[in-house]
Chains A and B, each alone.
Chain A
């Protein structure tokens, strides 16, 4: 059962990482325009070179 000492912190850490990513995305207004973001990836504007 010693393995639990590693597994539990790891699972909690992964959960915390997921939560942090979610909060980061939410704070970054990434949920403001879901439709627009889905379409933006199809644009050809910056295919040749990255956006300045």
Chain B
């Protein structure tokens, strides 16, 4: 079977018609050659969007097929030989934002298969449960003798294969935990399934009154739903996290005798010459060979002011090149680069964090031995009193089934699904299963400054120092550069309603500034030294403007606050939690921001290790710290903290180290997440309460031998439904 036919099958309008055998084959081939291009379409939302995107792509020559997946907001394009950039342009012309996704970073097919596997087991046990229930209703309403036996036989014929198939996840997990010498939640589940099936077969053969086939299948069904919700939460988080990673297609432009070639960053070796375009991130450690520019170090050190760069200066991976084109020689790449060294620091910090025991684990640790003891005690008790082995085993099986944790298995996943769904709609992605519980315990919130509380984008403080007559000239110069300060100036002047003046000979001198001639008079915009002024020990970053020989005018810039930052900090303070600001930036800048946000505890000029130390010191004092940060300098602190969060604009390493990622620009969801997490934790505890209450009512009946299959079915479904409804109140 050729590759082409495989893809045609996947993308045809009716994939179901011919895909059944192909789907599996395709999944098996994951990791083989993947010629399909995948684009992320963050803005699509409706039927028209689907038509527009698919139509535009299909009309493009060379595209064989395109299919939009609205759930994942992606389009898969079968276009052999076409470049992603070309397709992105096509989609953008149709009016939709598009980004290339790295198919290698999306391990979707493996995850899909796992999800379909659980769904299949749910389906099988669901259908089996319905059929057995129909037969059981007849038995409960008084079918007798031969009819009852026949119904039991038919139920058994359906139930045994179903339990064997649908119960596999529990059996294998129970076997694993038994071999590791632990009693997990799955051990009593497996024991109940096996014992219930076995005792029912025995009772059926000896035409007994009670068979628990329906209970065994129902148990599978409800517990699999819990498993599936659990899986879904993790899969959604993982696929979104993968998407964030896949968005950064890591390429560098290597200079070779035959021209530039785009190579994966992993292929760089020391000694390579690579070209750095303005706006690109430095892919490896190295030294500048040629060209001048400005370097943005905010992600590495937290400094908000760009640094001028010239040949001979050392660059670290992760820094951003702002204005000029440069050529650098690689000195350390991949595993040896400073980026990788910081990652090692993170790994060390992570192992020191210690494992968090989730509420579910704590519950099962209490619960498993209790169930086994109860069942065994009732078996011994009845055997000692009646000397009837069959009856005693029957009672023990009934106790196991009644106590079995249907509701307990649903208690946590339903709440986590509801809560993370709610937070996801507000733009917060939870990557770790226990993050919500840990978030509920937080009493101290530590913020990073640059890129977290601020946007990392400068804003002009005031336009007043610039005389009105000079503004058109300042605007035309500012528009000539992609330096962030120049862009901010242009924005501020444009907002004032000024239009640009006519100038000639507009030039950008990377690292210095922009110059031009206005009716023969030289005008310049740039850094202080270039214009013969002195920056002094001012707290704010500044750009200078000069016309002719007149003294240079100082224009000050402050970092812009992230939207929602003020509300977020105010709400957290109001909820009685402590707020700390740790920054690598200079003290005056940090003090200014702390005053604006009314944060009393702040520390400036802290190194990456210093941040991690500070967070660890807080933890040692018994405080539960939420760390919010975005830069490489925060990564170690993020992994030391009790729970951590980073914005989507953060570096890959920071996002990997944190438990939650904020997808939007707004900081407000952070305060909401803290509140939702607390509510989620109390819902989980309520759910445990509900399941224990059902057990307290039902277990005495079971131990005293009054339990019937009807009672087991009622207790199981009622407790599961009430637990789910309680969880849904969070949405």
Which A residues are closer than 8 A to B by beta carbons?
1, 4, 8, 11-12, 15-16, 18-19, 22-36, 39-45, 51
Assuming the A-B contacts A11-B134, A15-B130, A26-B123, are A39 and B16 also in contact, with contact meaning beta carbons closer than 8 angstroms in the complex? no
Q: Does any Cβ of A come within 8 Å of B1's Cβ?
A: no
Q: Tell me if B112 and A23 are in contact (CB < 8 A).
A: no
Q: Tell me if B127 and A36 are in contact (CB < 8 A).
A: no
Interchain Cβ contacts under 8 Å between A and B, 21 examples: A1-B147, A4-B150, A11-B131, A15-B130, A19-B123, A19-B124, A19-B127, A24-B16, A25-B16, A26-B123, A27-B16, A28-B16, A28-B19, A28-B23, A32-B69, A35-B71, A39-B47, A39-B50, A42-B47, A43-B48, A44-B51
Assuming the A-B contacts A26-B116, A28-B15, are A36 and B123 also in contact, with contact meaning beta carbons closer than 8 angstroms in the complex? no
B 30-81 contacts with A by CB, 8 A: 46-48, 50-51, 55, 68-72
Binary contact track B1-38/A, C-beta < 8 Å → 1, others 0: 00000000010010111011001000000000000000
Residue in B69, B119, B128, B134 whose CB lies within 8 Å of A36? B69
Closest chain-A Cβ to B684's Cβ sits at a distance in Å of 27
**How far, in angstroms, from A27 to B158 measured CA to CA in the complex?**
22
**How far, in angstroms, from A28 to B9 measured CA to CA in the complex?**
10
Which B residues are closer than 8 A to A by beta carbons?
10, 13, 15-17, 19-20, 23, 46-48, 50-51, 55, 68-72, 112, 116, 119-120, 123-124, 127-128, 130-131, 134-135, 147, 150, 154, 158
- Report whether over half of chain B's contact residues are helix, strand or loop; otherwise say mixed: helix
**How far, in angstroms, from A5 to B2 measured CA to CA in the complex?**
50
Of all chain A residues, the one with the shortest Cβ separation from B24 is A27
**How far, in angstroms, from A25 to B16 measured CA to CA in the complex?**
7
**How far, in angstroms, from A27 to B17 measured CA to CA in the complex?**
10
Assuming the A-B contacts A1-B147, A24-B20, A27-B20, are A39 and B124 also in contact, with contact meaning beta carbons closer than 8 angstroms in the complex? no
Q: Tell me if B127 and A15 are in contact (CB < 8 A).
A: yes
Q: Tell me if B50 and A32 are in contact (CB < 8 A).
A: no
- Report whether over half of chain A's contact residues are helix, strand or loop; otherwise say mixed: helix
Q: Tell me if A35 and B127 are in contact (CB < 8 A).
A: no
In this complex, the member of B127, B130, B135 whose beta carbon has the largest number of chain A beta carbons within 10 angstroms is B127
Residues of B within 8 A of A12 (CB): 131, 154, 158
Residue in B19, B46, B72, B154 whose CB lies within 8 Å of A27? B19
**How far, in angstroms, from A41 to B47 measured CA to CA in the complex?**
8
Of all chain A residues, the one with the shortest Cβ separation from B115 is A31
Residues of B within 8 A of A45 (CB): 51, 55
Residues of A within 8 A of B112 (CB): 32
Of all chain A residues, the one with the shortest Cβ separation from B72 is A33
Residues of A within 8 A of B127 (CB): 15-16, 18-19, 22
**How far, in angstroms, from A18 to B134 measured CA to CA in the complex?**
15
**How far, in angstroms, from A22 to B16 measured CA to CA in the complex?**
12
Q: Tell me if A29 and B123 are in contact (CB < 8 A).
A: no
**How far, in angstroms, from A4 to B154 measured CA to CA in the complex?**
12
Closest chain-B Cβ to A36's Cβ sits at a distance in Å of 3
**How far, in angstroms, from A27 to B116 measured CA to CA in the complex?**
8
Residues of B within 8 A of A29 (CB): 10, 15-16, 19, 23
Residues of A within 8 A of B154 (CB): 8, 12
**How far, in angstroms, from A41 to B13 measured CA to CA in the complex?**
13
With A15-B128, A27-B116 given, can you name 13 additional A-B contacts, CB distance below 8 Å?
Answer: A4-B147, A22-B123, A26-B116, A26-B120, A26-B123, A29-B15, A29-B16, A35-B71, A36-B70, A36-B71, A39-B47, A43-B48, A45-B55
Closest chain-B Cβ to A47's Cβ sits at a distance in Å of 12
Residue in A23, A33, A39 whose CB lies within 8 Å of B120? A23
Residues of A within 8 A of B124 (CB): 19
**How far, in angstroms, from A12 to B127 measured CA to CA in the complex?**
10
Residues of A within 8 A of B68 (CB): 36
Q: Tell me if B131 and A31 are in contact (CB < 8 A).
A: no
Closest chain-A Cβ to B54's Cβ sits at a distance in Å of 9
Q: Tell me if B119 and A31 are in contact (CB < 8 A).
A: yes
**Which 3 residue pairs are nearest across A and B when measured between Cβ atoms?**
A28-B16, A36-B70, A42-B47
Residues of A within 8 A of B16 (CB): 24-25, 27-30
Residues of A within 8 A of B23 (CB): 27-29
Q: Tell me if A43 and B47 are in contact (CB < 8 A).
A: yes
Of all chain B residues, the one with the shortest Cβ separation from A20 is B127
Residues of B within 8 A of A41 (CB): 47
Q: Tell me if B131 and A51 are in contact (CB < 8 A).
A: no
Residue in A1, A15, A39 whose CB lies within 8 Å of B131? A15
In this complex, the member of A4, A8, A25 whose beta carbon has the largest number of chain B beta carbons within 10 angstroms is A8
Q: Tell me if A32 and B71 are in contact (CB < 8 A).
A: yes
Residues of A within 8 A of B48 (CB): 43
Residues of B within 8 A of A24 (CB): 16, 20
Q: Tell me if A26 and B70 are in contact (CB < 8 A).
A: no
Residues of A within 8 A of B116 (CB): 26-27, 31
**How far, in angstroms, from A34 to B55 measured CA to CA in the complex?**
21
Residue in B51, B119, B134, B150 whose CB lies within 8 Å of A43? B51
Of all chain B residues, the one with the shortest Cβ separation from A36 is B70
Q: Tell me if B50 and A36 are in contact (CB < 8 A).
A: yes
Closest chain-B Cβ to A13's Cβ sits at a distance in Å of 10
Q: Tell me if B15 and A40 are in contact (CB < 8 A).
A: no
Q: Tell me if A33 and B20 are in contact (CB < 8 A).
A: no
Of all chain A residues, the one with the shortest Cβ separation from B129 is A15
Residues of B within 8 A of A33 (CB): 69-72
